[in-house]
Structure 1
Amino acid sequence: MDRKKTLRAGALAAGTALIMLMSSPAASALNRDDGDDPGPGLSVAETLGLFVLTPLVAFAVIAGLVVAAEKKKS
């Protein structure tokens, strides 16, 4: 009996996820809206700097501040 309920819940979750993915706004991202004025694209270096280097630097700064604060307490 529990197996039936589990399968039913899994099927419901999968169906819901599929419907959400199919109706997401990203699916119609190729259709331009009135007044849409996208800027120039990012180069590979700009993309890596923005999405890789910046978070790593922020993490290092926060970790450094935490370590410095812990050393002051000791």
Structure 2
Amino acid sequence: MADPLSTGLIAASIMLAIGIAAFASLRGWQGWLDLKRMELVSGRGDVMLPPSGGRIEIADLKERVRKLEAIADGIDL
């Protein structure tokens, strides 16, 4: 039969693991709630930042349009 000490250690380690998982889950939940509170205070429901490459893409598209207009006008670049 199993030793009572080892059974107790296994039970204690399982309880400790459940406690750690519960603590981590509650911290994540509190972080999510804080984020939602900040969004409500700022007046915006959905905080979406533009992609960092957005300006670069627009500049690239403007350059392409300029080159295409130059080709259409018959100017050699």
Range into which the TM-score falls when normalised by the shorter chain: 0.3 to 0.5
Q: Which has the higher relative contact order, 1 or 2, with Cα contacts under 8 A spaced 6 or more apart? A: 2
- TM-score between both structures, scaled by the size of structure 2: 0.39
- TM-score between both structures, scaled by the size of structure 1: 0.40
- Higher gyration radius (CA): 2
